[in-house]
Chain A
Amino acid sequence: MKKNKWFYGFVLLQVFFLILMSVSYYAMDIFGETITLKTVPVDPRDPFYGDYITLEYEIEQIPKEKWAVEKPLTRGEKVFLLLEKSESEVYELVRASTIWPDASNAQVVLSSKYRWSDSSTAQYQVDIGLDRFYIEENSGALWEQRKERVAEIVLAPWKQKKIVTVK
């Protein structure tokens, strides 16, 4: 009977974990910090994009002078982006590094994955993992992708993030 108790606990643990995954998404709205990011025009790769639009952000393209990484990175390595609120309320990149930077009051840190670098334009490309914004089904055609927009992002203290709106 004792073994059975453990088994129930084990089942409960899995249920809790799954519920946590779900709850944390909704809890972000309460505990998270909202920031605004500028997006850049994207060439729609897939003409049938259906129920989401593809987004790329200005802060994902990092010029060399803001790239505070010593060694060459391989694809997929973590890069931390230090962002600061500008006068227009949009957050802009201060510096990108592989060690977690200290952020002051008006600053936030976003984690991203390294993608590639282009030596001709001296740019580094990272991925903050928010490249899809899900919209109502089949209204994708109404969204012109070749346009600059601003996206509102919620950052949770537990480092989760999501897109709230795209304008």
Chain B
Amino acid sequence: MNRDQLIKESKKWVEEAIISDAQRELLIERYPKKQNKPLLLTFAAIFIGLGFLTFIASNWSYLTDLGRMGILLTSLTGFYLGGDWVYRKRSKRVGISLILIALLVFGSSIFLIGQMYHYTSFSAFPFLLWSIAGFVLYIFFKDTTFFYTTIAIISAGQIYSALVYQSFHVWMSLLFIAGLGWIMVKKNTYPQRLVFGTGYILQVILLVLSEGIPYYWLLTFFLLLYIIDDYVIEKGKTHVFKTISIFSVFILLTFQVFFLGDDYVGELTESSLYFFLVWAALFVFAVIRSALSSTNYYWIDLLLFVPVFRFGFGDLLSLILLFMYALLWLISGYQQEVARWVNKGTFVFLITTFIAYFQLAWDFMDRSLFFFVGGVMLFALSYFLEKKRRTIYKGGGEK
């Protein structure tokens, strides 16, 4: 039943003395007004803003520097103040969209003015200013739009910093962890956690790549995200950090399977004492936590975080870890009759088989034969696993 229907119906209920007026109010409150129109209005605002900006862009070269300054400053203040006014007096959504445009104008102004006056920049500092502006807007309006925009700006800035200056911008990552992390913990909605977790993975990968830190440190960063999950996300909610962390470490292991055999990587993995200290501290902590937790099966996840790169046959060990992970989830899934675990195990098992097959057979098998045999193998495997899985579902259904 929608709100309008309820309002009509409940009037009768009050007249027939089924419910009281107060109860009616409470019931109606349960069906909040849907906001369809503002979405269209938001798009309208964004389109007008874009139209305005592209108009300026196409006439840009005909303007003098002072004329350009004038346009940038007027549009910046115009969108900010107009947005603020609309936000307070008319529609919150439209106001937010206008202010979002102002934020974008601010960022592009920094770069345009820098270009006009031939600024040389030694770091991604403009992105830091821009992201701070986004963060402050969040504080003012408490609207998640600015949360996501700030994450996007920081991510873009960090990528830019890595590509152009080969360096990691520490202040931007501090704003990410301390500022946005704080918002994320306070608000704690699923999409925010998802975006924040993904942003975190991007940051640590860029940190490792641009600062020349050995790649295996990623393992500790991923493990950290895994552990933090318990503290940030309440029980019963989707453990999105854990999922992201497991997904990332899975990709890392896949890379290890393919590249750890190379001699070059062997040199990279020397002198890793600090890594092992940090890793051991985190790992022991994670093991203790999983031992204390009510579900005794989550230690299987931790298998993936075992560092195997120091061994000469680290690629093989990585593969074994992946297989063990898949099989353990499959087995415990069957034993405990948890369909979700079985699904997870099946999926990982299929992928791992594929990886192993690729790694072992690609070099010495004829290409067409390679794909043909691989296809048949996956068919057989998925048939077998699917059959097993169905029996579980049936078993679960009878219970």
Contacts and interface: CB of A to CB of B under 8 A. Distances in A.
Interface of A: 3-4, 6-7, 10-11, 14-15, 17-19, 21-22, 25, 74-76, 78, 111, 113, 129-130, 132, 134, 160, 162-163
B133 A14 contact: yes
A4 to B, nearest CB: 7
A18 B113 contact: yes
B140 interface: yes
A4 B118 CA distance: 35
Contacts of A10: 133, 136-137, 140
A45 B76 CA distance: 38
Chain B facing A: main interface SS? helix
A22 B113 contact: yes
Contacts of B140: 3, 6-7, 10
B72 A4 contact: no
Given A18-B113, A76-B164, A163-B118, 7 more contacts: A11-B77, A14-B106, A14-B133, A18-B76, A22-B113, A78-B122, A130-B120
A113 B122 contact: yes
B136 A19 contact: no
Nearest to B79: A11
Interface string B137-168: 10010000000000000000000000011110
25 contacts: A3-B140, A6-B140, A10-B133, A11-B77, A11-B102, A14-B76, A14-B106, A14-B133, A17-B129, A18-B69, A18-B73, A18-B110, A19-B73, A21-B110, A21-B113, A21-B114, A21-B119, A22-B117, A76-B122, A76-B165, A76-B166, A76-B167, A78-B122, A130-B118, A162-B117
Contacts of B65: 22
Nearest to A18: B109
Nearest to B87: A7
A74 B166 contact: yes
B213 to A, nearest CB: 13
Nearest to A51: B61
A129 B120 contact: yes
Contacts of A14: 76, 106, 133
B117 A25 contact: yes
Which A-B residue pairs are the 9 nearest by beta carbons?
A129-B120, A25-B117, A11-B80, A21-B113, A76-B165, A14-B106, A22-B69, A18-B109, A76-B166
- Residue of B84, B118, B119, B165 contacting most chain A CB atoms (<10 Å): B118
Given A6-B140, A113-B122, A15 B114 contact: no
Interface in B31-88: 65, 69, 72-73, 76-77, 80-81, 84
Contacts of B73: 15, 18-19
Nearest to A160: B119
Contacts of B122: 76, 78, 111, 113
A74 B109 CA distance: 31
Contact of B72 (A6, A18, A160): A18
Given A10-B140, A15-B76, A4 B106 contact: no
Contacts of B117: 21-22, 25, 162
Interface in B90-147: 102, 106, 109-110, 113-114, 116-120, 122, 129, 133, 136-137, 140
Given A7-B140, A19-B73, A132 B118 contact: yes
A162 B120 CA distance: 10
A76 B137 CA distance: 33
A24 to B, nearest CB: 8
B211 to A, nearest CB: 10
Contacts of B165: 76
Contacts of B77: 11, 15
A136 B165 CA distance: 31
A145 B77 CA distance: 43
Contacts of A15: 73, 76-77
A126 to B, nearest CB: 12
Given A21-B110, A21-B113, A113-B122, A75 B166 contact: yes
A21 B117 CA distance: 8
Contacts of A18: 69, 72-73, 76, 106, 109-110, 113
A129 B110 CA distance: 18
Contact of B118 (A3, A75, A134): A134
Contacts of A4: 84
A145 B72 CA distance: 35
B310 to A, nearest CB: 27
Nearest to A20: B113
A113 B77 CA distance: 36
Contacts of A130: 118, 120
Contacts of A21: 110, 113-114, 117, 119
Interface in B162-179: 164-167
A76 B72 CA distance: 31
A74 B136 CA distance: 35
A20 to B, nearest CB: 10
Interface in B263-291: none
B160 to A, nearest CB: 13
Contacts of B109: 18
